[in-house]
Amino acid sequence: MQVFVLLYNAGTENEGIHTLKIGDRNVVLMFETEDDATRYAMMLEAQDFGSPDVEGLEAEEVEEFCQSAGYESKLVPDGSLAVPPETNVDSPDWRPEADPPEFSEPGTSASEKPEFSNSELDRIRRQLEGLL
């Protein structure tokens, strides 16, 4: 199955993949549709986070990368309204001058931001879906 991820400097030696920092975990979002991934990328850009490229990859390939890098992956179903965190870490793990692995981490949510419980996330999701 093909999924869509957000990459920075796609196709270069300095390629990085967008992740979220949830507690002490790094999570790669895998979007089922290109439209949802593009919408999320535009929200990141609107937050002055940069302009990631939306790239289609095989889900298995992304999951293998995540396992090898110690990351987790999360599938974002078609039509879900994924919203980036309001804040980003001050210093991402990704360094433009470093020799990166196949993918590296260009940015994450703020680690000091408290993690939401599933019930809180569901409540927020229902509110946002009600806006559509």
User: Taking the domains of the chain in order of start, what are their residue ranges?
Assistant: 2-130
| Residue linked to tokens 């509110």 | 127
Q: What is the rounded CA–CA span in Å between residue 106 and residue 103?
A: 9
- Look over the chain and give the mean of its residue pLDDT values, rounded to a whole number: 77
Condensed to tens digits (0 to 9), the pLDDT of residues 11-41 reads 888 888 999 888 889 999 999 999 999 999 9
Taking Cα atoms as reference points, which of 41, 27, 44, 35 lies closest to residue 79? 35
Q: What is the rounded CA–CA span in Å between residue 130 and residue 70?
A: 35
Q: In this structure, is the dihedral angle defined by the CA atoms of residues 106, 108, 110 and 112, taken in order, positive or negative?
A: negative
Q: What is the rounded CA–CA span in Å between residue 9 and residue 44?
A: 15
Read off the DSSP letter of residue 117. P
| Residue linked to tokens 């806006």 | 131
Where helices occur in the chain by DSSP H, the ranges are 34-46, 59-69, 118-130
Condensed to tens digits (0 to 9), the pLDDT of residues 42-98 reads 988 888 877 899 999 999 999 999 999 999 999 999 988 777 776 554 444 544 444
**What's residue 84's pLDDT?**
79
H or E stretch covering 2: strand 2-8
